[in-house]
Structure 1
Amino acid sequence: MRHVWFNQQPKAFMNNETDQLKQWLKEKGITEIEALVPDMTGNARGKILPASKYLNSETTRLPEAIFIQTVTGDWPDDDAIEDLVHPADVDLYLQPDTSSVRMVPWVEEPTAQIIHDCYTATGEPHPLAPRNVLKRVLALYEKEGLQPIVAPELEFYLVQKNTDADFPLQPPVGRSGRPERARQSYSIDAVNEFDPLFEEMYDFCEAMELDVDTLIHESGAAQMEINFEHADPLSRADQVFLFKRTIREVAMRHDVYATFLAKPMQNEPGSSMHIHQSLLRVGSGENVFATPDGELTQTFKHYLAGLQTYTPAAMLFYAPNVNSYRRILFGDAAPNNTHWGFDNRTAGLRIPISAPEATRVEARFAGSDVNPYLAIAATLACGYLGMKHKLQPTEPVLGDAHELGANLPKTLEHALSLLQQPSELIDILGEKFVQAYVAIKYKEYETFFQVISSWEREYLLLNV
């Protein structure tokens, strides 16, 4: 029996996008295609195909079970994922987003990478695909005549290669022959220690047309931050997804690792992905967060209040791993609250000082270990609910917001329990998606808890 899908042509192949893609591949001399799908963790799944086969095939497929696999390669218990995926482990169907096609600059053979959207056999967007979750949220804004604009700021560490997981990570040795010891916030010379690495990083980013902006040294040893230019949320999530692949590859070419672990070293700060966000009116392009004379609008206040109200329930998308909460609890600058303030980095929600047309909210909750599609989708969903219910924010904090106390989950287990409570956030993101995501995170937490740590052997072995 033929599925309905096979009688439908994917959208990308119904217009001249196909011809444009073929022309681009021909001009670049592409011989291979990496068909990419972002998974729940935010890593790339997919297939590598000869370019001729890719263009001539009816469609590309993957097992839909890739969306219920944990970061350790395990699977949630059957009862936790019942009715979420087909028991026969059926295929999902990949549709290329032709606007995402880019070179893979680190391989010898001319190779292109294309991000794909995922569909069911009947041609519906697959509910478990993270890219579809973000699109689902963006559709709500489109109905309101609004265009979200975001700009991620992504932190990461360079570390020495570590092939034995029992040993702590160490800062890498730079050009001077010595690793960093003291804090080097915003140091130009500390960045230049790894100048050959970053020169290649920028070369690769340019070849891939990634809109990377500023590179700075953060406060941790060999901790860096890369900023992306502001644009539509889907393109920014795509670029964070691709950048992570890129910098990991560049680092290994220079005999070090790049890690987006939220808290990779005990005595160093955690790494975050701050998300700057604003809303434009479709058509006029005006920023609806402020009037021309700089007065904050009610839309801004409602959006901000939504972030304050719904962020605790959404925390699992900003802190998706056990390690994420080490950043929240022990990070020097990580926010543990939903307070807000003008140019206040102790608050979870910072309003940078800017011209009225650049008025925006900087949500500081997400760690660098997030899936960018889900973190951006979650923050936009929270803001949307604030506007829908016309919520009002608290008063801005002028001093240290940490003194007002924490109101965010401190453990993965707590975040899991909050996300499972009935809420409109689940409705926006999709009930099946949230159920699958929770099942995956429970399984990862269970797997983590099975490991007996060195701390337990050190302090409990002979003392209890």
Structure 2
Amino acid sequence: MSETKNMNFNDLEQWLNERRVTEVECLVPDLTGVARGKILPRAKFTEDRGMRLPQAIVAMGVTGEFPESGPYYDVIDPTDKDMQLRPDPSTVRIVPWAADPTAQVIHDCFDHAGNLVPFAPRSVLRRVCDLFAAEGLQPIVAPELEFYLTARNTDPNTLLKPPIGRSGRAETSRQAYSIDAVNEFDPLFEEIYDYSDKMELNVDTLIHEVGAGQMEINFFHAQPLGLADEVFFFKRTVREAALRHDMYATFMAKPIAGEPGSAMHVHQSLLDVASGKNVFSNPDGTPSEMFMHYIGGLQRYIPAAMVLVAPYVNSYRRLSRNTAAPINIEWGYDNRTVGIRSPISSPAARRVENRVIGADANPYVAMAMTLACGYLGIKNKIKPKPEMRGDAYLSAYSLPRSLGEALDWLRKETDLHEILGKEFVTVYTEIKELEFDEFMKVISPWEREHLLLHV
């Protein structure tokens, strides 16, 4: 557990002094999960304890564009007002690759009246966790994050390839769970673990996934906001470490045609705050009614919420039949073909695994989404469908097949608007609509190959 977990501002100053920090990276995650902010000299950071940025900085698309008009500006002030950014002392970490002693601190976004900015990703996750707290419940999550290592690629028109390992060769076949395939990149992973240790990240197991050059890192279970922070830090760390070893690390959902996509599976359970016990199990060890209602909520609302965890056009290339990614929201025990899996465990560790989330999802938004769906299931006492005991790939698709379709589904599901916040849903869908329009301006090689001379 990080020593910074319960840190206040006085503790933060002492922490910075002990490490002789000279600069502070003041970070705020935007809708994409990119680290925005400013780098301040230590004295300036101590003096201000925060900074100002335009509201729209956390509400831009992956291309860096903003809508020109529309409902977006019913939420974002068209005069480009500032928001106040306040550091969360519990998030302070050293920047292990910096030449001079440098710290990084995640900030929360507030308006001038002192209210959390409702469309900032961290604010949305806080909002959902507060709903559980009001019910006397504490969500516990554990993400599993997949990613690809690729050779450096500076031309977006060139296909991605696996990187060269210690042997001098690149992977040409799938090496699921291969120890030797992981050892090909020992120097890189030693640095990743070293960086993670210095940043006190809650990382656990590293494995080689199915795809050529595809890896997975597991995190120990903890509270959602802290783990979302760690995933945010980890993505940044892996990309930095990979660059230092002359390769790229990518969290795209489907970076390489013909290879499996990358997911961020999120295990989740609920503790009763008063007793500390897992409410997904009855005293006799059987699944509780709340467990079933939670699954019912995931089944009912995940399809409409998919654009939150499959946020790009590329995301939907991963969600296809027989590609190790779900195509529906069937549920089952120890069944990896379903969208909602419950691993075999003791009653105290009973949990649900959401397998539909892509590695490209913003971790704050992803955790807010899955917890919101489960919360609605509990509040509305939604019963799940019967357990899927066979191959869920033989069942019909029940998830949206494209970004445009997913946007329509979320706009129509007003229950989710109430839980996540109408301002957030408005800003998010407007940004994604802009990205979709930008993508539709691009003509793909497939279209030139098959349509140019044949239609």
Q: Same fold (TM over 0.5)?
A: yes
Q: Distance in 2 between matches of 1:288 and 1:378?
A: 20
Partner residue in 2 for 1:399: 390
- 2:195 aligned with 1:204: yes
Partner residue in 2 for 1:371: 362
C-alpha deviations, 1:175-216, integer Å up to 9, x for none? Answer: 011111111000000000000000000000000000000000
C-alpha deviations, 1:35-74, integer Å up to 9, x for none? Answer: 0000000110010000111101263111111133111111
Partner residue in 1 for 2:3: none
Q: Distance in 2 between matches of 1:19 and 1:67?
A: 28
- Offset, 1:458: 1.7
- Offset, 1:293: 3.3
Alignment partner of 1:56 out of 42, 47, 51: 47
Superposed counterparts of 1:147-186, under 5 Å: 147-186=138-177
Normalising by structure 2, what TM-score? 0.97
Structure 1 residue identity aligned to 2:249? A
Q: Distance in 2 between matches of 1:16 and 1:412?
A: 40
SS in 2 for 1:19: helix
Superposed counterparts of 1:226-237, under 5 Å: 226-237=217-228
Structure 1 residue identity aligned to 2:383? Q
Structure 2 residue identity aligned to 1:413? G
Structure 2 residue identity aligned to 1:320? P
- Offset, 1:77: 2.9
Normalising by structure 1, what TM-score? 0.96
- 2:128 aligned with 1:137: yes
- 2:270 aligned with 1:279: yes
SS in 2 for 1:78: coil
SS in 1 for 2:53: strand
Alignment partner of 2:208 out of 198, 217, 220: 217
Structure 1 residue identity aligned to 2:150? V
Structure 1 residue identity aligned to 2:74? D
Relative to structure 1, is the Cα distance of residues 159 and 58 closer, same or farther in structure 2, using a 3 angstrom cutoff? closer
- How many residues were matched structurally? 450
Structure 2 residue identity aligned to 1:377? A
Partner residue in 1 for 2:36: 45
Structure 1 unmatched runs, 5+:
1-14
- Offset, 1:460: 1.5
Q: Distance in 1 between matches of 2:109 and 2:355?
A: 30
C-alpha deviations, 1:331-378, integer Å up to 9, x for none? Answer: 611001110001000010001000110000000010100000001000
- Offset, 1:424: 1.1
- Offset, 1:394: 1.0
Partner residue in 2 for 1:244: 235
Q: Distance in 1 between matches of 2:428 and 2:221?
A: 28
Q: Distance in 2 between matches of 1:221 and 1:319?
A: 22
C-alpha deviations, 1:387-432, integer Å up to 9, x for none? Answer: 0011111111111011121101011111000000042111110101
Q: Distance in 2 between matches of 1:30 and 1:68?
A: 30
Structure 2 residue identity aligned to 1:223? Q
Superposed counterparts of 1:301-316, under 5 Å: 301-316=292-307
C-alpha deviations, 1:212-241, integer Å up to 9, x for none? Answer: 000000000010000000000001100000
C-alpha deviations, 1:256-287, integer Å up to 9, x for none? Answer: 00000000000110000000000000021100
SS in 1 for 2:319: helix
Partner residue in 2 for 1:289: 280
- Offset, 1:18: 1.8
Structure 1 residue identity aligned to 2:98? V
Structure 1 residue identity aligned to 2:320? L
Tell me if structure 2 keeps the 8 A contact 1:30–1:110: yes
- Offset, 1:144: 0.3
Q: Distance in 2 between matches of 1:68 and 1:341?
A: 37
Report the aligned-residue RMSD: 1.2
Tell me if structure 2 keeps the 8 A contact 1:269–1:331: no
SS in 2 for 1:224: strand
Q: Distance in 1 between matches of 2:165 and 2:132?
A: 46
Deviates more, 1:373-382 or 1:291-300: 291-300
Tell me if structure 2 keeps the 8 A contact 1:306–1:387: yes
Partner residue in 1 for 2:425: 434
Structure 2 residue identity aligned to 1:124? N
- Report sequence identity in percent: 58
Structure 1 residue identity aligned to 2:10? D
Relative to structure 1, is the Cα distance of residues 157 and 16 closer, same or farther in structure 2, using a 3 angstrom cutoff? closer
Tell me if structure 1 keeps the 8 A contact 2:196–2:234: yes
Tell me if structure 2 keeps the 8 A contact 1:94–1:117: yes
- 2:71 aligned with 1:80: yes
Partner residue in 1 for 2:339: 348
- Offset, 1:80: 3.4
Q: Distance in 2 between matches of 1:68 and 1:118?
A: 12
Tell me if structure 2 keeps the 8 A contact 1:188–1:217: yes
Tell me if structure 2 keeps the 8 A contact 1:292–1:357: no
- Offset, 1:82: 2.2
- Offset, 1:134: 0.3
SS in 1 for 2:364: helix
Q: Distance in 1 between matches of 2:284 and 2:274?
A: 21
Tell me if structure 1 keeps the 8 A contact 2:28–2:58: no
Alignment partner of 2:320 out of 308, 321, 329: 329
Q: Distance in 2 between matches of 1:25 and 1:403?
A: 56
C-alpha deviations, 1:272-305, integer Å up to 9, x for none? Answer: 0000000000021100001243200001011110
Partner residue in 2 for 1:11: none
Relative to structure 1, is the Cα distance of residues 165 and 299 closer, same or farther in structure 2, using a 3 angstrom cutoff? same
- 2:127 aligned with 1:122: no
- Offset, 1:16: 8.3
- Offset, 1:255: 0.2
Tell me if structure 2 keeps the 8 A contact 1:315–1:409: yes
Tell me if structure 1 keeps the 8 A contact 2:49–2:86: no
Alignment partner of 1:70 out of 56, 61, 69: 61
Partner residue in 2 for 1:360: 351
Alignment partner of 1:107 out of 98, 114, 125: 98
SS in 1 for 2:294: helix
